Amino acid sequence: MIKLKPCPLGYDPFDGDFGDPDDKILSDKMVSARKEHRCFWCGEIIKLKELHRYRVDKIDGEICTYRWCADCCLAMIADIKSGTCDATEKRINLNRRAESKEVTDD
């Protein structure tokens, strides 16, 4: 299991997004997967027992959940240290490339 130090919870994955004043973060924590999930950014599978970030928000009156795999959490930590968004943008682009490939594979 990957040890995540420092913790990626100091990174705001939605920094710069404008929301409603009533939007709230209900939960934001590191958890161990009890089943497989898909990473919100890169689209990779979060495997059973993998440490990952789990966040629950209330947005526009609806409950939204997000999960980020350990590699995306490491990218968050790298960006906290560097003060950039370079590492996280690379992780997000992995999913964009995969989605683009699926569309063009018809």
> What's the pTM value of the predicted model, to 2 decimals?
0.83
**87: nearest Cα among 95, 96, 77:** 77
pLDDT tens digits along 49-101: 999 999 999 998 899 999 999 999 999 999 999 999 999 999 999 887 666 55
3-state SS, residue 24: strand
Residue type, 19: G
Residue type, 21: P
pLDDT tens digits along 84-94: 999 999 999 98
Torsion of CA 32, 45, 73, 41, to 10 degrees: -130
In this structure, which topology does domain 18-100 adopt according to CATH? first zn-finger domain of poly(adp-ribose) polymerase-1 (3.30.1740)
Percentage of the chain exceeding pLDDT 70: 85
Q: Which helix (H) or strand (E) holds 65?
A: strand 62-68
Domain spans of the chain, in order of start: 18-100
